Amino acid sequence: MSRIRLAAPVYKGTLAVHIIATGAWIGIDVVMGVLVFTAMSTVDSAVRMLCLQVLQLVTVWPMLASGAVSLLSGLLLGLGTKYGIVRYWWVLIKLILNLVLMVLVFFSLRPGVAEVAKTGIVGDMVFPPIVSTSTLLFAAFISVYKPWGRIRRRRL
């Protein structure tokens, strides 16, 4: 498949959108962590319930929106640059991580946050901000260092 060539202003704009969307996703994860750890550490039940209700408002849909923008801008960058979508390991791994995180947010975090906001019991909610933030920081790291080289194609 031949790639399209992005004009410099389009490339820079798309790259900026990609970086901003991913940074927003990391920021939402940090806010999620602050809310969860505050809810866990407070003895005031009103503060705990407020944190968990705010958690429901500021996490799932903003995460999905920033994840979708990151995914779409990443696909456009992959199609419009020499890196491609499945030409280099680091690009493919970033794509897979994005898709896995978005699926987890929709199918696991969304119902979990709704339940926590209703019951006030934090439970295992400590893990999503840790796992997601670590995964996104790893994706940012491999974007800079571009490890592992090209994916080799089999000769038929």
Q: Which residues of the chain have pLDDT under 50?
A: none
Sign of the CA dihedral running 24, 27, 32, 38: negative
Of 60, 56, 71, 50, nearest in space to 104 by CA: 60
> Among candidates 57, 111, 82, which has minimal Cα distance to 2?
82
Buried b (16+ CB within 10 A) or exposed e, 85-120: bebbbbbbebbebbeebbebbeeebbebbeebbeee
Round to whole Å and give the CA distance between 141 and 138: 5
- For CA atoms 98, 99, 105, 106, give the dihedral sign: positive
pTM (predicted TM-score): 0.92
Residue with token string 């970086």: 19
pLDDT of residue 4: 83
For residue range 20-34, what is the model confidence (pLDDT) as tens digits? 999 999 999 999 999
Check if the beta carbon of residue 128 is closer than 8 Å to that of residue 109: yes
pLDDT, position 152: 85
Q: Is 39 helix (H, G, I), strand (E, B) or coil?
A: helix
Q: Measure the CA–CA gap between 1 and 154, rounded to whole angstroms.
A: 16
Q: What residue segments make up the domains of the chain, in order of their start?
A: 8-144
**pLDDT value of residue 1:** 53
pLDDT at 153: 75
Query: 74 Cβ partners below 8 Å, 6+ apart?
Result: 18, 94, 95, 98
> Looking at the DSSP assignment, which residues form a beta bridge with residue 88?
150
